[in-house]
Amino acid sequence: MPKKPLSASERNTLAWVCHYFREKKPPAEIARLMRQHGAELNYRDANRLIAQAIDAEFIRVVSPIDSKLGGRIRDAFSLKRVDVTFTDSIDDVASQAAYALWDLLQEEVKRGTSEVRLGFSGGHTIRRTFQNLANLLAEPSTDLPRRITFHALVAGFDSGAPGTDPTSFFVYLSDQNPTFDTHYFLFHAPPVTQPARFDNLFKLPALAEAKKKAEHLHVVVTSAAVFEDEHSQLRRYLKAYGKGTLSGLERDGCKGDILWLPITVRGPIVMSKERGYHLRPVTLLELDDLPGRIGSGTRVLLVLGPCADSAHSVCPSKAAVLDPILHLKGGPYITDLVIDKATAAKLMSMQDNRQTIAAQAP
């Protein structure tokens, strides 16, 4: 929801609180100094205003990153950027991903790009990422492109989880009236269709236009899910409405999905009628499109945090889907990664074991 606008007096008070906070003054000292500006505060008021300043993005708090572990992953898999949060908090991962997107926007500005086109997949992690990005973009800045176009790349799967389709994310930004020019391409399509009807869907004018506009994205933002995780939206949907397709994915060794599209350790799964699939996800991109897009300069940011469910400690590690993504033949399929430390450590443990086995082979 959009924040209530601050009055001129409130902004002035918060600005001075931020000034003294940056000078590392303790709350009691901030309260004393604020009396010089006509604000009668005690240390509790100062603490409250510091929290309010953080909420208003006057003070930006970013989770620290493990540069050493991130560097190991970046070098091992030839990625452009890897940010590893020290915590396993989904909110810290989403916040760091928003700052990574901010940096990518600034890179495009330095290249002279006047309009930057961002494409988003769905799910809880990307929703929180976009929410953090919207807060960053709400503040006036000269470092942004003149126009940003936001594309929804998928439809929503989970009818019981509001706000997990990217079309709904854009409300976070549109309600804040950003100062730069914005444009949106929504994706009003069914989440799945029969494989034989997939191409016909894109003969509909609105979907045809959305597909055409998505051909020239500067950045693709997506997450991924482990197929055996009971919270996987793809698994839950097929368990309810497509048991035959679910059985087919289990038969073919599905490890997880990215952009709602399933993968195995061998590569993306072709969900065709000939292979016995009755349903397939409706998306604007195919996974096999990504290497070519990357080769043409598109950045693909994968954001992987722990399962968004409160009981995520018992869920499978996202390394189970990240490892196959990073080893898909014909890649790369991603260029940038934001990940929590536990998942990152598990990924590198798998990589180290793989190298040890290879070294011991005759």
Residue 343 has pLDDT above 70, yes or no: yes
Answer for the pair 179, 215: CB distance below 8 angstroms, yes or no.
no
User: What mean pLDDT comes out for the span 320-333?
Assistant: 92
Confidence of residue 172 (pLDDT cuts 50, 70, 90): confident
Q: Residue 47: what pLDDT?
A: 87
Question: Same domain for 38 and 162?
Answer: no
What are the start-end ranges of the H helices in 156-272?
166-169, 171-174, 198-201, 205-213, 233-241, 243-251
In a domain, 262, yes or no: yes
In a domain, 137, yes or no: yes
Residue 207 has pLDDT above 70, yes or no: yes
User: What mean pLDDT comes out for the span 273-286?
Assistant: 93
Q: Strand pairing partners for 225?
A: 257
Confidence of residue 311 (pLDDT cuts 50, 70, 90): low
Question: Same domain for 209 and 333?
Answer: yes
In a domain, 88, yes or no: yes
Q: Residue 309: what pLDDT?
A: 65
Confidence of residue 2 (pLDDT cuts 50, 70, 90): very low
Question: Same domain for 31 and 134?
Answer: no
Residue 262 has pLDDT above 60, yes or no: yes
pLDDT 10s digits, 122-135: 999 999 999 999 88
Question: Same domain for 51 and 105?
Answer: no
Confidence of residue 248 (pLDDT cuts 50, 70, 90): very high
Of residues 349 and 156, more confidence is placed in 349
pTM of the model: 0.84
Give the contacts of 206 (CB within 8 A, at least 6 positions apart).
188
Residue 68 has pLDDT above 80, yes or no: yes
User: What mean pLDDT comes out for the span 106-119?
Assistant: 93
Question: Same domain for 109 and 230?
Answer: yes
Total domains, the chain? 2
Question: Same domain for 139 and 287?
Answer: yes
Confidence of residue 75 (pLDDT cuts 50, 70, 90): very high
Question: Same domain for 242 and 308?
Answer: yes
Show the CA angle centred on residue 188, arms to residues 184 and 192, nearest 5°: 135
User: Which of 266, 305, 317 has its CA nearest to residue 287?
Assistant: 266
Question: Same domain for 265 and 191?
Answer: yes
**Averaged confidence pLDDT in the chain:** 89
Q: Residue 1: what pLDDT?
A: 43
Question: Same domain for 167 and 280?
Answer: yes
Residue type at 352? D
In a domain, 2, yes or no: no
CATH number where 173 lies: 3.40.50.1360
Residue 312 has pLDDT above 60, yes or no: no
User: What mean pLDDT comes out for the span 162-170?
Assistant: 83
Question: Same domain for 71 and 47?
Answer: no
Question: Same domain for 42 and 107?
Answer: no
Q: Residue 177: what pLDDT?
A: 64
Place of tokens 């180290």: 352
In a domain, 3, yes or no: no
Q: Which of 155-164, 168-177, 311-320, 329-338 has the lowest mean pLDDT?
A: 155-164
Place of tokens 């996987």: 232
Please, what is the angle between helix 8-22 and helix 43-55, to 10°? 100
In a domain, 1, yes or no: no
In a domain, 156, yes or no: yes
pLDDT 10s digits, 16-33: 888 888 888 898 999 999
Range of the domain at 23: 8-55
In a domain, 60, yes or no: no
Question: Same domain for 145 and 209?
Answer: yes
User: What mean pLDDT comes out for the span 228-250?
Assistant: 92
Element (H, E) at 266: none
